[in-house]
Amino acid sequence: MARYSAIFAVTIIFCILAGPVSSFTASDYKDAISKAILFFEGQRSGKLPVSQRVKWRGDSALIDGKIENVNLIGGYYDAGDNVKFGWPMAFSLTLLSWAAVEYPTEISSANQLLHLQRAIRWGTNFLTRAHISSTTLYTQVGDGNVDHQCWERPEDMDTPRTLYKITSNSPGSEVAAEVAAAFASASIVFKKIDSNYSTKLLRRSKSLFAFADKYRGSYQASCPFYCSYSGYQDELLWAAAWLYKAGGGNNYLNYASSNQGWSQVASEFSWDNKFAGAQTLLAKEFLNGKSNLEKFKNDADSFICALMPGSSSIQIKTTPGGLLYTRDSSNLQYVTGATMVLFMYSKVLEAAGKGGVTCGSVTFSTSNIKAFAKSQVDYILGNNPLKMSYMVGFGSKYPTQLHHRASSIPSIYNHPTRVGCNDGYSSWYNSNNPNPNTHVGAIVGGPNSGDQFVDSRSDYSHSEPTTYMNAAFVGSVAALINQGKVEQSFQMPQLNKTTLYDRQSTKNISY
C-alpha cells in the first residue's frame, strides 16, 4: 500500500449520504435483486412462456421478421417503448451474464439464479435467431421514430416492424462485437448446465467477433436513439476479453495486448462506452501474471480515480445527497454501470492481494471503494434526501407514473378493447393517475442534479426504465448479498498527523 505524499493537519470526515446511515440488510438486497430480475419478464417480447410471472403482460410482436422471412420473435423491448434495439439489448445480457459469473453463490442464496439464467437465455435465444449468417446480423426491430409517435401496448402494436441489419457491405462493429461479448459471457453461464448451448454460443461469438473485426465500421443504424460516440474499439476489446475468459483461446488475449493502445481512460461505463469493463477484465489477467497488459490495469485505476470523492483526479461529481451525476438524461444508467465496475474491480484487486488504488496523494482501499459503491446502491433503494426508492415496488415510496407504454395502459386481460396509437396518448399518457400496472423492479432514470424528482410520465429523462440500467443494478446489488463487512457509509479519506488511512487494507437515450 503506497503511503500518502502529504499529511493533512486535521482529519475531516465527510459522510457522502444525507440523512441517517442506511439500515438495509441482506434480506433487503435479496428482495431488490429478485425484483430487478423480475423486471425483465415485463420487458419480454414474443410468445410468453408458461413460467411467466408478470401477469399483466401478454403475447406480442408475433410476426417480427416476417417481412424478410426471418424469425425475429422474442427478445426484449428496450425501455418504455416497443422497439427491440439489438445493441443495448446485447449489452444488458453481457452485464447479466457478468453478474451470474461473478456472484453465483450470492444470487443463489436469494433463490434467483434460475430466474437470472432464464432472463439471459430469453435474450440470447433472440440474438441467435438474429445472427443468420457469418456476415449478417439483424440489429433492430421497429422504427424508433414511428414507434415514439404512438402510445400503445405491445399487445396492440400496429406500427411497422421495420428491420435493420448489418452486413459486410454495411458493417456495424459496435453491435457485432457486443453481441459477441453477450454470447461469450453467456457461454460461461451455461457451460455446466447446458454444455451444448454453451458451445453453440461460443462458436457464434467467435464468428461475430471475426465479422466485427474484419469489416470495421461504426454502427449508426439506431440513431438518433443510440448513436456511437466512443467508436468500436471499446467493444472489440470488451468482446476479446470475454472470448478469452470463456475459453476461446490465447489469440484473444494477444489481440487485446496488441491493441491496448486503443484503451482510453474513461469516467463512465455504459451501452456506448465499454472501456472500463474491458479494462477490469484485462487488469485481472495482468495481475495474474500477464505482464504485457499493464496499460489496462493503469486505465482501470484511473476509472476509479475519476469517480471517488476526494480523488485528486475526480471527473464525475456527486449531487448534494451523494449520487454520482454524469449527465441529466437517464443518469442512473451511469450510476448503476459505474457501481457494478467499482464492485467488480474491487473483487479483482482483493483476489490479487492488492489493497486498493492510489489517486495522487490519496489511496482508496478496496473496502472504501466498495463502501462508496454501496452508497450508490443504497441511494437508489431509498437512502436519499427524498427518502424514496427509484426501483418500482421496492419500499413504500417509489415512482408511480413510469414512462412505459405497457405499464401505463391497463392490461389486455382487464381492458381487452384495443387501445390505438392516439387513444393511448389521450386516455393514458396524459393521465395524472398512477400506472395501472406496477412494473415491479423497474429502475427509472432518477433524480436531477439537486436530488429532486418529479413523478411524471412525460418526463422520460427521469421516469423511464431501461434494460441496461436494471442489468447493471443486478450486478451491483449482488455484490452486497452476504457481504456483511462492507462499511455502512462512505467517508472521504483524509489524514491527521498521527493516522494513516486504512493501512491494514492490503449516451443518452433520447426519447
C-alpha cell at 147: 414507434
Q: By C-alpha distance, which of 387, 395, 451 is closest to 32?
A: 395
d(CA 482, CA 454): 34
What lies within 8 Å, CB to CB, of 95 at 6+ separation is 340, 468, 471, 472, 474, 475
Q: What angle do CA 267, 269, 271 make, to 5 degrees?
A: 135
Q: In one letter, which amino acid is 43?
A: Q
Selecting among 64, 235, 268, 464, the annotated active-site residue is: 464
Selecting among 455, 459, 487, 502, the annotated active-site residue is: 455
CA 230 from centre of chain: 17
DSSP state of 434: P
DSSP state of 412: T
d(CA 31, CA 26): 9
d(CA 295, CA 298): 5
- From residue 126, how far is each of 168, 198, 483 by CA, in Å? 21, 15, 35
**What Rg value do the Cα atoms of the chain yield, rounded?**
22
Looking from the CA of 127 toward its CB, the CA atoms found within 13 Å total 34
Is residue 388 a contact partner of residue 395, using CB atoms and an 8 Å limit?
A: yes
Classify 362 as helix, strand or coil.
strand
| Pairing, β 84-85 against β 356-359 | unpaired
- Specify whether 455 is catalytic: yes
Selecting among 115, 148, 403, 404, the annotated active-site residue is: 403
Instruction: Catalogue the active-site residues.
Output: 403, 455, 464
